[in-house]
Chains A and B, each alone.
Chain A
Amino acid sequence: NAGVTQTPKFRILKIGQSMTLQCTQDMNHNYMYWYRQDPGMGLKLIYYSVGAGITDKGEVPNGYNVSRSTTEDFPLRLELAAPSQTSVYFCASRTGLENTGELFFGEGSRLTVL
C-alpha cells in the first residue's frame, strides 16, 4: 500500500517557469490537501479538495492552481514561478469520514526557484 505519493521530490526552476507537482493516493480518501512549509516554519494550506471536481482555496493560494478530476489525483500547478515559492510542498489526504480526521502525508517536494 503506497499511501500518498508525490513527484518530483526535488526540483529547481528558473523565475517565470511553470511546473506541476503530482500527488496521488491509493487509500480512496475523499479529502486531499496541498501545504507549503517554509524553512523553520509551519504548514500553510494552499488548496484543498473534498472530492473529485471540488476544490477550494486555503490560506496562500496565489500563484498556484489545482484540479481534482479523479479521487486519486490532486496535482498542484505553479504558474510563472517566483523566488517566494521556494519551499517544501506536502500533499496530504484524509478519509473525510467522521472517524479519525488523521492526515496522511506524502514525503514532500523541495522546490527551489532561482
Chain B
Amino acid sequence: AQTVTQSQPEMSVQEAETVTLSCTYDTSESDYYLFWYKQPPSRQMILVIRQEAYKQQNATENRFSVNFQKAAKSFSLKISDSQLGDAAMYFCAYAATNAGKSTFGDGTTLTVKP
C-alpha cells in the first residue's frame, strides 16, 4: 500500500525568507505523480505543484519548487520569498498512474511571520 509521510506538523518562516517542507512516500509502482496542495483557512484545496515520476527535472512554479529524489522516495517543497498569503496547511499527495487511489500525508501547517 502507498503511504505518504510528512514529518513536520508545523513550520514557521519569516516573510521574504525561504522554507522547505519535507515529504517521503513509499510505493512499489514505477509510474506515478506527486503533488503539493495548499489548504488556506477557507478550506479550499489548491494545487501548488505537480511532479511526474518519470521526469528527472524538478518542477518549478514561480516561487515554489520541489526537490524530487526518486531513489530516496523524497519530495520536498521549497517556498522562496515567503509571503503572508503562503500561510496555510500544505499536503503532500501521491497518485499512481494506473490506479484509482490518491493518498495524502497528514499535512504541515506553515506560519509566515511578518
A-side interface residues toward B, CB under 8 Å? 31, 33, 35, 40-43, 45, 48-50, 56, 58, 88, 90, 92, 94, 96, 98, 100-103, 105, 107-108
Contacts and interface: CB of A to CB of B under 8 A. Distances in A.
A6 to B, nearest CB: 11
Contacts, number: 59
B100 A50 contact: yes
Contacts of A40: 109
Nearest to B52: A101
Interface of B: 6, 31-33, 35, 37, 43-45, 47, 50, 91, 93, 95, 97-98, 100-107, 109
Nearest to A108: B43
B102 A88 contact: no
Nearest to B104: A43
Given A103-B45, A105-B44, A45 B101 contact: yes
Contacts of B6: 42
Given A41-B106, A105-B44, A100 B101 contact: no
A33 B45 CA distance: 14
Contacts of A101: 32-33, 35, 50, 95, 97, 102
Contact of A45 (B47, B50, B103): B103
Contact of B105 (A42, A98, A107): A42
